[in-house]
Structure 1
Amino acid sequence: MALEPFLGTGAQKAFFFTVIIQAIVVLTMVGITYGMVAGEDLFDTSVRYKTLPCYLALFALAEIFEVFMVFDALRLRNIIQLFGVTSFHLALMVIGAIQVPQTRDALVSRSAAECARRFDWIECDGPGTLFWRVRPFLIVAPVIIGVSLLILGWYLKELYSEFGWAIFHVVGANPRMKTMYQYYQIMICLLKFDFFFFTGVTMQLLILVLKSSSAEFGITVAAIPIVLILLVLCGLAVQREIKWIMSISLVMMLASLSYLRIYAHGVARGQLTSYFIPVYKLVRFYQPQNAELYSTTRASLTIFTIVAFLLLFTSFGIGLRCFFDFDKGLAPSKIHSAPTKRPPLQSKESSGLKPDTSGIPLGPRISIE
C-alpha cells in the first residue's frame, strides 16, 4: 500500500485548511478586541490593562505555531504529532474561554454601586461599556476553536488509518522497532511543544513585568534563541544517537526540574532571581506583593507554567527511554524517515518485469516498502 503524497487526500486537505481558516478568524477577533482597547490609550495607565497585549501576542504565537505543527506533521505523516496538535487545540479553547473573565477583571474596576452613582464606560460593566463592546469578539474566539476541534477530531480518525502505514514504511513490521520509533516521534514532538510553552510564558512576563530598558529584559529575550538552540541540539542527538549531547540535554532537564526547590527557597528568603526558566515564576504569581501585577493574567500564566513544567518532566522521562534505545538498530530509520513525496510510478517494462499475457486479471496487491 503506497503512501499518499503531502495534501494528496481529502482528509489531509480538510485538516490543514481547517486549522488555517480558524487561525485567520481567531486572530481577526483578537485583533479587533485589541484595537478597541488600544484606541482608548489604556495600556500605559495601569498594568492590569496589559492582559489584552498578552492575549493578542499569545494567540498570534499559538496560531502560527499550530499551523507550522500541522504542516510538519502532515508532511512527515506523523500521527503522534497530529494527536499532540489536537490536544493543543483543546488547550487553546480553554485559554480563549479564560480570557473572557480575565478581560473583564482588567477593564471593569468599579462595583455596581459605584457605577450607579457615577457611570464610566471604561471601568464599569453593563450595556454601553467597553467590556460589553469587546465581549462578543472574545466569546467568538473559543467558540470557533471548539467548532474546528470537532472537525479536526473527525478527520483525525481518517488520518490515523491513512498514516498507520507510514511507520511500516520506515521500520517494517518488527513490533520492538515500532515501539522504539514511536518513542522517538513522541520525544521530537515534546521538544517542539517545550519551546512553545517556554516562549509563551516568557513573552507574557516580558509584556507584564520587565521594562525594555532594563538589562534583565535583554537577558530574557536572549534566553529564547538559546533555549531553541538547546532543544534543536537535543532533537539532533535523539535522531543521530549522539550520546554525549543527549547526556548533557538530560542533565540540563533534570537540573531545571531540581531548581524549583532552590527557587522556592530563594523566594522564602526574599531572593527572587532568574527569568531563564519560566516554571519557577509560579510561586511569584501568588505572592501578596504581586497581587496587582498578575491579577488579570494569573490564570493563563498559571496554566502555561504548569503545562511547561509537566512537558519538561515528560521530556526528561521519554528522553531517558530514547537514550536507552540508542545503538539498537533504529538510527537508519530515524535519519531516513518516511518519504515526503510519492515515488514515481514505473511501468512493467522499465522495472524489468514482463507484462502479464495470460489474459487473467491480476488482483490488487498490498506491499510494505
Structure 2
Amino acid sequence: MPVERLLATRAQRAFILTITIQAIVVLTMVAITFRKVEVKVNFHAPQYKTLPCYLALFALAEVFELLMALDALRLRNIIQLIGILLFHMALIVFAAIQIHQTESALLGGNDCTNHFNLINCPGPGSLWSSVKPFLIVVPVVIAAAWFLMMFWIKELYSEFGWAIFHVVGANPKMKIMYQWYQIMLCLIKFDFFFFVGVTMQLLIVVLARNSAEFGVTIAAIPVVLVLLALCATAVQREIKWLMTVSLVMMLAASSYLYKLVRIYEPASRDMYVTTRASLTIFTIVAFILLFATFAVGLRCFADFDRGLQASKVNGGSYTPVVTKMELFGGNMSQTQGGAYTGGSALQPRISIE
C-alpha cells in the first residue's frame, strides 16, 4: 500500500474542507456579533471587553486548528488528529460559555423594571436579542463539523496505519517509543495555543496597560514560546542537557496557576467578572497540559539513545513508495525511497497492525 502525497486522498481533502468551511462560518458569525455590538457600545468600558476577546480567541483557534490539521496530515500523525478532535470539543464548550458571558456583559444585571433601554435590557428589539441567534449558531456549527471530522478521521486512521511502519520498522518497542514522541510534540503544540489564549484574555480584558502585571505578562510570551521551541528541538535531536533545562522550566512555568487565585480573591475578582468562566477553563487546561507535557517529556527522555533519533529526524518526510506484496507466497518485499531512512527491511510473514 503506497503512502499518498499530502491532500492526495478524498479523506484528507474532505477533512481539511470540513475545518475550513466551519472556520469561515464561525468567524462570520462572531464578526457579525462583534460589529452589532461595536456600533452600540464603547469597548473601552471593562464590561464590554469580552466581545473583542471572543473574536480574537476564535480567530486564533480556527487558524490554529487548520494549521494543526495540515501538519497532522503532513506528518501522517493520527495521534495529533485525535488531539484536534479533543480540541474541537473544547471549542464547542467555549462557544457555549461565550453565550452566557456575552449576556452578562451586555445585560450586566441591570434593573429594567422601571427603565428600559435597547442596549442593556433584554426584550424584543434589544441588542441582546439581535446578537443571540448568531452566538447560538457558533456552537451548533462547530458540533456539526465535529461529527463530520470523526467520520473522516476514521478513514484517515486506516490510511495512515501503514505510514508509521515506514518510519520505525516492525519493532514493537520502537513503535511505542515513536508514539510517545508524537504525543510529546502534539502536547507542545497545544501548550502554545492555551498559553497564548490565557495571555490574550488577560491583555485584552483584564490588565491595565500601565500596570506591572501587564509588562510581566508581555515579557512572558517570548520566554514561553522559546521554551516550547527548545523543548521540541531537544526531544527530536535527543539533546539531554537541553531537555533537562526544558523540563525544569516547565515546573517553574506551572506557577502560572496562581492566576486562578487572582480570579477569585475578593481584592481582584471584579476585574474578571465578564471572563471568569473562560479564563478559569483556559488556565486549568493550560496547567493540565503543561503537567502532562512534563510527564510525557520524562518518558521520552528515558528513550534517548535507544536508536530512535534517525526516525524522529527523518520521520516527517514522506514521499510515495512502490510496494509489492506476494500474497499467496507469504512474502512481502518493497522498494523504499530515501525518505524512510528510519525504517527497517520487511521480513517474511510480518503482521502489521
Q: Structure 1 length normalisation: TM-score?
A: 0.86
> 1:223 deviation in Å?
2.1
Deviation of 1:226 (Å): 2.1
Partner of 2:205: 208
- Once the two structures are overlaid, the 10-residue window that deviates more, 146-155 or 117-126, is 117-126
AA in 2 matched with 1:201: V
**Distance (whole Å) between structure 2 residues aligned to residue 151 and residue 242 of structure 1:** 40
Match of 1:162 in 2: 159
* Equivalence for 1:4: 4
Q: What amino acid does structure 2 have at the position aligned with 1:217? A: F
Query: What is the deviation of 1:208?
Result: 1.6
Q: Which residue of structure 2 lines up, in the alignment, with residue 119 of structure 1?
A: 116
Q: What residue is the counterpart of 1:72 in the other structure?
A: 71
**Secondary structure of residue in 1 paired with 2:42:** coil
Moved over 4 A (4+): 213-216, 362-369
Root-mean-square deviation (Å): 2.1
Residue 44 (structure 1) aligns with: 44
Quote the Cα distance in structure 1 between the aligned partners of 2:136 and 2:120.
20
Checking the alignment, whether the CA contact within 8 Å between 1:121 and 1:128 is kept in structure 2 is yes
Instruction: Give the superposition deviation at 1:287.
Output: 1.5
Q: Which residue of 2 aligns with 1:286?
A: 264
Task: Return the alpha-carbon distance in structure 1 between the equivalents of residues 132 and 29 of structure 2.
Answer: 10
Per-residue CA deviations over 1:264-311 (Å, capped at 9, x if unaligned) read xxxxxxxxxxxxx4x320111111233321111111101000000000
Q: Distance in 1 between matches of 2:278 and 2:248?
A: 29
Q: Which residue identity lines up with residue 326 of structure 1 in the other structure?
A: F
C-alpha distance in structure 2 between counterparts of 1:21 and 1:363, whole Å:
47
Identity value in percent: 61
The alpha carbon displacement at 1:363 in A equals 9.7
The residue matched to 2:113 in structure 1 has which SS?
Answer: helix
Conserved? CA contact 2:75–2:316, under 8 Å: yes
Contact conserved, 1:6 with 1:341, CA < 8 A, in 2? no
**Letter of the structure 2 residue corresponding to residue 188 of structure 1:** L
TM-superposed CA distance for 1:86, in Å, is 0.7
Q: Which runs of 5+ in 1 are unaligned?
A: 260-276, 349-361
Cα deviation digits, residues 53-86 of structure 1 (max 9, x gap): 1111111111111011001000111110000011
- Structure 1 match to 2:339: none
Q: Relative to 1, partners in 2 of residues 1:302 and 1:186: Cα closer, same or farther, differing over 3 Å? A: same
Q: CA shift at 1:214, angstroms?
A: 4.7
- In the aligned structure 2, how far is the partner of 1:56 from the partner of 1:363? 60
Which of the residues 224, 231, 245 maps onto 2:221?
224
Counterpart code for 1:247: T
SS of 1:288's partner is: coil
Aligned amino acid, residue 60 of structure 1: A
Which range moved further: 166-175 or 114-123? Answer: 114-123
**Change in CA separation of 1:365 and 1:141 when aligned onto 2, cut-off 3 Å:** farther
Q: Output the amino acid matched with 2:286.
A: A
Superposition pairs for residues 291-306 of structure 1, below 5 Å?
291-306=269-284
Deviation at 1:218, TM superposition (A): 4.0
CA contact (8 A) 1:48 1:292 kept: no
Paired position in structure 2 for 1:353: none
Q: Distance in 1 between matches of 2:212 and 2:252?
A: 25
Aligned equivalents of 2:316, 2:333: Cα separation in 1:
15
- Answer yes or no: is the 8 Å Cα contact 2:227–2:249 preserved in 1: no
Kindly tell me the number of residue pairs found equivalent between the two proteins: 333
Counterpart residue number, 1:35: 35
Code of the residue aligned with 1:136 in structure 2: it is P
The yes-or-no answer on 1:313 pairing with 2:291 is: yes
Deviations 1:208-236 (A, max 9, x none): 22233555434422322221111111000
Structure 2: state its 5+ residue gaps: 337-353
Rg bigger for which structure?
Answer: 1
Map of 2:25 onto structure 1:
25
Q: Which one-letter code corresponds to 2:72 in the other structure?
A: A
Moved more, 331-340 or 12-21: 331-340
Question: 1:17 corresponds to which letter in structure 2?
Answer: L
